[in-house]
Structure 1
Amino acid sequence: MPSKTLEQLINRQQLWPAKQRRRHTVGGQSNATGFAPLDRALHQGGWPSSGSSEFLCDTPGVGELELVMPTLSQLNRDRPIAWLNPPYLPFAPGLAQHGLAARQQWLIHAHRQHQLWAAEEALRSGVFCALLSWSANCSPNDKQLRRLHLAAREGHCWHLHFRPSRCQPQASPAPLRVQVEGGPRDIKLVILKQYGGHAGQQLTLPRNKQLTEAQRPVNEWPTNTNPRRRLAVNLHVAGRPSASSSHPVIRS
């Protein structure tokens, strides 16, 4: 095969060099994650700027959104973000704390039969900087996954595809696949697949302390073991007024 053809395939990311690690700057084909250890583990130096990225986790809310909030807050300045069939209603004040304005968030509810169509149309439109979709109730095949990835590349949109862990054995065209496991204080990541080199990196990142404190059970909330000050209590003995009481005692 001519070297020119090889170069064209590599530039179009249709062929991946096994040993060559191609890092891209934040202004190019990747965006900094906001976590230095994660940036070092990703061969591109950050999250992909377009195309599909798969996050495999069984339980929503284990910290998977914390991983992408720093990047989304930067991308959201130029274009809105779409949320397709999220498991819970996005909390506007919480998003605002991460720099995501409510007016820049589009919430899309699609029937199960139309979810993949809605995702593909939104990704290809070029309107959104990112699309977050959850497919716990649908199981796209390899061809459908490829259509979503190509639509995201065409629309210059980052597709964050949250899927159950049982989908890990399925082949996927997504250049980046990450297993996410949340704990009470940290998030454990396993990079299953990534562009530009080998995968298998394992990381443990700390969670947002404010969020973890808010999610603690009530019986674990911090309390004062001793009262801050003693309260003045007037003890009344039957038949006797207290020293500080000026009210008469009524005897039966």
Structure 2
Amino acid sequence: MSSSPLQTLLDRHQLWRAGLTSAPDKSGLHTGFAALDAALHLGGWPPDGSTELLCDQLGIGELWLLMPSLVERSQHGPIAWINPPCTPNIAAWEHHGLAAHRQLLLSPKLLADQLWAAEEILRSGVFSAVLSWFSCRELQDRQLRRLHVAAKEGQCWHLHFRSGHCAQQVSPAPLRLQLAAETDSLLLRVIKQPGGPAAPELLLARPKELYHRQRPVKDWPSFTSVDLAQHGTSRRRLRLIPALQPARPTPIRTDQRGVQ
């Protein structure tokens, strides 16, 4: 027997219950952080649709926060990276458990091309997650809504990175988090979430390499040849591996005649 129109709306979470529900909806996917799971009414990240991460500083731990979930989702489908601010570090992907051959990197130059590519990939039903960074600071509500609807139709998790000042802008994304760097922690403020009111601010302790790299280069930890010799690593340099690294030009090989 087919379900009633009312039940269909309830199943799709398209009807506002005004808090009158018999049991909380815990359909979210675990974030990998117990405190964050407890703060989100779904019990974790939304399974699909757009999730907005608002931050003004690059490399404060935004990818570290997502990595446990990205690794899990990559088992069910490839992940697309659209216009990341720096070239992804493949070694870091492999280090965290993301297979490089299951990652798709796109770098459209024009906003229209990026919007088209993002919408097509989200709706395709092939990708388990899509991470997007848009050069345009403020997208129109219509553009944001098309991306969210495409992600819902394709059952894909869309992670949209935006500037912190967009927190005041109305957005169709059901979950919006604002991120900021503290001394040794990542500060999360839930601006909006499905299933109830926003949660209070939350602090997650970050790995040391993250806040080391936020300091000026002259203050980064360094190792002398004596230190390396004591640890048996005199022939190789120790370094911290970020998930994103600045882009470097690719050398072009030519033969003796100068032909590529």
TM-score > 0.5 by shorter chain: yes
- Per-residue deviation at 1:144? 1.4
For structure 1, which segment, 123-132 or 204-213, has the greater mean C-alpha deviation from structure 2 after superposition?
Answer: 204-213
- Per-residue deviation at 1:70? 0.3
Matches within 5 A, 1:221-236: 221=221
Match of 1:232? Answer: none
Matches within 5 A, 1:76-225: 76-110=74-108, 111-213=110-212, 216=215, 217-219=217-219, 221=221
Given that 2:61 and 2:210 are in contact with CA atoms closer than 8 Å, whether structure 1 keeps it comes out as no
Q: Which 5+ residue runs of structure 2 have no aligned equivalent?
A: 228-260
* One-letter identity of the residue aligned with 1:135: F
Q: Deviations over 1:120-174 (max 9, x none)?
A: 0010011110000012425321111111111001111000000111211211111
* One-letter identity of the residue aligned with 2:89: F
For structure 1, which segment, 116-125 or 164-173, has the greater mean C-alpha deviation from structure 2 after superposition?
Answer: 164-173
Match of 1:66? Answer: 64
Aligned partner of 2:25 among 17, 23, 31: 23
Q: Deviations over 1:30-65 (max 9, x none)?
A: 210000000000000000111000011112211111
* One-letter identity of the residue aligned with 2:55: C
Structure 2 CA distance for aligned equivalents of residues 112 and 223 of structure 1: 43
Structure 1 CA distance for aligned equivalents of residues 79 and 181 of structure 2: 24
Using structure 1 for the length normalisation, give the TM-score. Answer: 0.80
Structure 2 CA distance for aligned equivalents of residues 81 and 107 of structure 1: 9
SS of the residue corresponding to residue 52 of structure 2 reads: strand
The alignment yields a C-alpha RMSD, in angstroms, of 2.2
Structure 1 CA distance for aligned equivalents of residues 117 and 102 of structure 2: 19
Match of 2:13? Answer: 13
- Per-residue deviation at 1:214? 5.4
- Per-residue deviation at 1:15? 2.0
Match of 2:238? Answer: none
* Residue 196 to residue 120, structure 1, CA distance change in 2 (3 Å): same
Identical counterparts, % of pairs: 49
For structure 1, which segment, 113-122 or 208-217, has the greater mean C-alpha deviation from structure 2 after superposition?
Answer: 208-217
Q: Does 1:46 align with 2:47?
A: no
SS of the residue corresponding to residue 60 of structure 2 reads: coil
- Per-residue deviation at 1:119? 0.7
Q: Deviations over 1:78-101 (max 9, x none)?
A: 211000000011111111121101
Using structure 2 for the length normalisation, give the TM-score. Answer: 0.77
SS of the residue corresponding to residue 133 of structure 1 reads: strand
Q: Which 5+ residue runs of structure 1 have no aligned equivalent?
A: 228-252
- Per-residue deviation at 1:222? 7.0
Max Rg structure: 1
Q: Deviations over 1:97-125 (max 9, x none)?
A: 21101111100111222111111001001
Q: Deviations over 1:170-217 (max 9, x none)?
A: 111111000011234110000000011110421000112344445554
**How many pairs are equivalent?**
219
Structure 2 CA distance for aligned equivalents of residues 109 and 147 of structure 1: 20
